[in-house]
Amino acid sequence: MVDSVFGNLDKEATKEAFKEYLREWKKYKLKAMQRFPGLQSPSMDGQPNDGTPHDPDQKFVNHAEAVYQYKTRIKCCEVLMSVGEEEEILGDILLHRFIKNWSAIRTMNYINEQYNTYMDDRQYRRLQDQALWEGALMCPDDSVRIFK
């Protein structure tokens, strides 16, 4: 699909890349939940360390990066929800299906209840595809947009 803003994107590959991007949320959340990097008593050279030969600053950087990565994935869904009324459903689908890792049926039932609507499986799949596409276009990580 040729777009004046994004260029020549491969729609299916972009949706799959964004789906994987969202599913990596859990990995970063677990990394961020590890005990915050700490420092032990000073070593003989007077510099604090935690007993490992690694750069102590790198532990703080890794922790901050993990927090940033998992919050960015959630923010993608929340920002899509804030675009408009139709996109609110799309953001909710992404949040529950890929971040919370709900099944498609459970997500569809939740959407039907939450928005007092009825959608069948076919309509749900169409909206999920639309949500993945629109989410990938607004994602701050350029690696989810796959060019032909």
Share of the chain above pLDDT 70, in %: 81
C-alpha 13/C-alpha 139 separation (Å) is 15
pLDDT digits (tens, 9 = 90+) for 56-100: 677 778 888 989 999 999 999 999 999 988 889 999 999 999 999
Which residues have C-beta within 8 Å of that of residue 113, sequence separation ≥ 6? none
What pLDDT digit, counting tens, does each position of 9-35 carry?
889 999 999 999 999 988 998 888 886
- Report CA-CA distances (Å) from 40 to 50, 120, 141: 5, 57, 36
Instruction: Of 19, 29, 26, 25, give the one whose Cα is nearest residue 104.
Output: 19
pLDDT in the model for residue 5: 60
Is pTM beyond 0.85 here? no
